[in-house]
Copies of this chain bind each other. A is one copy, B any other.
Amino acid sequence: MITELFLKGRLRQELSAAEKSVIEQSISRTITLGPRETFIDAGQRLENSYYLVEGQMLRYVDDPRGVRQLVHISVPGDFVDLHGYAMKRLDHDLGTLTECTLAEFPHEALSAMFAGSARLMRAMWFSTLLDASMHREWIRALNGLNSEARLAHLIAELVERMRLIGRFDGRALPIPLLQRDYANACGVSEVHCNRCFSNLRARGLITISRGGRLEVSDIEGLQQMAGFTGSYLYGGSSLDLDVMQDA
């Protein structure tokens, strides 16, 4: 079931079978994209939102100078542009990292879904709040950590997010980011990023990193260096839909 990962990674709580079914039925179609493709440009008017079933996507802004700045990395189970439902446009570009499978939700279908269930609307709202929470944590990392610790933080977050959806085997991070991508995300030059990788390797925290393959040998070490705790990924606690009762 397509919604499975959404529940795992984002909501961490069961929706009822009926609710899952409503979500599934709002999908108009499923599409596949190749790796490193542009999908949505900033500013473009949107009629659909997309849920990432498989693969990873990048949310980025291209600098006037041509420098690409990653603002977020999406993994399976994420709605990649649910904020486009309320905003109608994105403030950033959206493209694929790997080959991706996306489920399309027409905004009309979402409106219909929400009209029938305030609870589902809250669940979706909550899931967009997690983005903001991740953004804040990343601002914190950019503000307070040096480049090596930032890199450690990024790796630790990706590992944890993959682990939450059952995609981490305890060793290799199954996301083929290039060192350039890590650099673009951490806001450092590619060269310096490479030196940070070397340092992390020298400390025994990671192992290889060739051809987009990165092995994590000491996740606790990474987390500690970065002051990482995953709590911001869950909204502090789990979503408590029942506390948000209908009056």
Contact = CB atoms under 8 A, between A and B. Distances in A.
Interface of A: 42-43, 59, 61, 63-64, 67, 69-72, 83, 85-92, 107-108, 111-112, 114-116, 118, 121-122, 125-126, 128-129, 131-133, 135-140, 142-144, 184-187, 227, 231-232, 235-237, 239-240, 243-247
Most buried by B among A85, A132, A135: A132
A135 B85 CA distance: 18
A7 B118 CA distance: 23
A244 B85 contact: yes
Determine the main DSSP class of A at the interface with B: helix
A245 B91 contact: no
Contacts of A247: 108, 111-112, 115-116
A243 B106 CA distance: 12
A6 to B, nearest CB: 16
A129 B236 contact: no
Contacts of A227: 64
B187 A83 contact: no
Contacts of A136: 59, 71-72, 91-92, 135
Contact of A125 (B86, B116, B231, B245): B86
Contact of A236 (B87, B107, B131): B87
A109 to B, nearest CB: 8
